[in-house]
Amino acid sequence: AQPRLLPVILVHGYFVDATVWDTWEKLLRNDSITFYSVTFADDDKCGSAASHASELLEIVQNISQLTGSEKVNIVGYSKGGLDARAFLSNGTDNVANLIMIGTPNAGTPLGYLDNFCAPAIWDLRPGASVQEAPRNPHTKYYTISGDWLPIIGGNFIILGPDDGLVSISSSESKSYFESLGRTLNNHIDLLGPQEYGMARDVLMANK
């Protein structure tokens, strides 16, 4: 019999909720991959990476117990990738792979535009401490980035190619991140079939 594929935990981003994963949920079902779309306590779209990290600790343990799987994969969209990095910095050994999609790993200047949705917004400002969360040696880190409107260089407020909210250089900011590719999509459109196709080999690899 085929070994069961690792369950996937889907972590939404700043000021959105688990419904952003609708397309991916269908695609994961088609591939017979067990998944869990996270909703943080009190439906918290604006929580800090630190508070979400402590919730993820519990969520990952629960999913491991429910599925009987020693390891899981995490896919983090936007700030969800920072939440997952904060969780992984605690040294847990049960996450095989983290795939970060449009994650502002070195922040975004748009984080300075207002204080809306605090404290989450503070984690998105360049230099926020979560962006230096230590690497977890038990986990492989991957990125998928958007290169939106490359002819005009994306959003003029952001230096270099970007997805309208997050620059590619921010998304791919650490040397130990491995890029799974870039699409031409805007930040809000980064959870479609094309990005799933880039992540699929990792999710199907079972290790």
Q: pLDDT (tens digit, 9 = 90+) per residue, 163-184?
A: 999 999 999 999 999 999 999 9
Decide: 132 and 86 in contact? Cβ < 8 Å.
no
112 pLDDT above the threshold of 90: yes
pTM of the model: 0.97
Mean pLDDT of the chain: 96
| Residue 127: C-alpha distances to residues 18, 43, 73, 105, 107 (Å) | 27, 27, 27, 10, 7
Summarised one tens digit per residue, pLDDT across range 186-207 is: 999 999 999 999 999 999 997 8
pLDDT at residue 147, rounded to an integer: 98
Give the pLDDT mean for 8-15. Answer: 97
Expressed in angstroms, the distance from the first to the final Cα of the chain is 17
| Burial of 190 per CB tally in 10 Å (0-12, 13-18, 19+) | buried
| Burial of 171 per CB tally in 10 Å (0-12, 13-18, 19+) | buried
Give the pLDDT mean for 28-34. Answer: 97
Task: Retrieve residue 166's tokens.
Answer: 């997050």
Decide: 144 and 106 in contact? Cβ < 8 Å.
no
Task: Retrieve residue 63's tokens.
Answer: 């999913």
Decide: 122 and 186 in contact? Cβ < 8 Å.
no
13 pLDDT above the threshold of 70: yes
